[in-house]
């Protein structure tokens, strides 16, 4: 797992600290092939993303290792029953309009 911090692993779930600048899943073409998912698949071939973060965002990612848990967690995200917290680090102050 090059450059990924594994925070939790059990039989059904991984929690990964995704760095900024990394896609969650591969895009089209070789320039966009590197992603969180492609880095995980060699060690966890059943890995399925439960949700996504933008490439430039860093944060915790849930990755299901079996289809049943993937469906259950995806449903909870779709129903907005999982609380997501966002924090922005900014430099400076906005200018008055």
Which residues are marked as active site? 54
Other Cβ atoms less than 10 A from the Cβ of 14: the count is: 21
Distance, CA of 79 to CA of 49 (rounded, Å): 17
The DSSP call for residue 65 is S
For 64, phi then psi, to 5°, come to -85, 145
Instruction: DSSP for 8-54, please give it.
Output: EE-SSEEEEEEPTT-BSS--SSGGG--BHHHHHTTT-TT-EESS---
């Amino acid at each position: 797992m090059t450059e990924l911090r594994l925070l939790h692993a059990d039989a059904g779930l991984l929690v990964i600290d995704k760095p900024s600048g990394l896609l969650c899943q591969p895009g089209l073409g070789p320039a966009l092939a590197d992603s969180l998912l492609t880095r995980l698949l060699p060690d966890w071939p059943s890995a399925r993303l439960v949700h996504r973060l933008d490439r430039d965002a860093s944060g915790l990612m849930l990755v299901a290792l079996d289809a049943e848990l993937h469906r259950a967690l995806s449903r909870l995200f779709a129903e907005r029953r999982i609380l997501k917290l966002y924090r922005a680090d900014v430099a400076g102050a906005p200018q008055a309009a």
